[in-house]
Amino acid sequence: MFTIGQAAKEAGLNIGAIRFYERKGLLEPAARSAQNNRLYTENELNWLVFIKCLRETGMGVEDIKQYYDMVKAGTATLPERIKLIQEQKEKLLVDIEAKKSQLAHLEQKLDRYYRGENY
């Protein structure tokens, strides 16, 4: 079992963010130690890592909660979940292309600067 500090470190999340996700229902209320400190299993840690991944792809907290509810509902929701993840994958691909064009824009600006232009 991991403390919230360890979990945060492992998952690359802020402690406050983990508590926030718990409040929002993205996680079951964590088990507690005798000192009332949150304790996380390996599985919960993996889920935190995946939450982080989904958040970074731009999925909203509320949508992740919907997804989590589906996971809990069992294999009947698999097709729906596959669709959801595929859609997220599409968005991510679009986003990567957008980033590349932003990169080009920055490079173009740098070129102008290298030529001594002020704009």
Partner DNA sequence: TCGTTGACCTACACTTAGTGTAGCATAGTA
Partner DNA sequence: TACTATGCTACACTAAGTGTAGGTCAACGA
Binding residues for a second copy, per CB under 8 A?
50, 53, 56-57, 71, 74-75, 78, 81-82, 85-86, 88-89, 92-93, 95-96, 98-100, 102-103, 105-107, 109-110, 113-114, 116, 118-119
Residue 70 carries which DSSP code? H
Candidates 33-41, 42-50, 90-98, 102-110 — which segment interacts with DNA by CB under 7 A? 33-41
| Bridge partner residues of 112 (DSSP) | none
- Minimum separation from the CB atom of position 91 to a second copy (A): 10
Q: What's the CA gap between 50 and 104, in Å, rounded?
A: 31
Residue 25 carries which DSSP code? T
- Minimum separation from the CB atom of position 116 to a second copy (A): 7
Residue 12 lies near DNA (rule: CB under 7 A): no
* Smaller CB separation from DNA, 99 or 112: 99
Bridging pattern class, strands 31-32 and 38-40: antiparallel
Q: What's the CA gap between 73 and 36, in Å, rounded?
A: 29
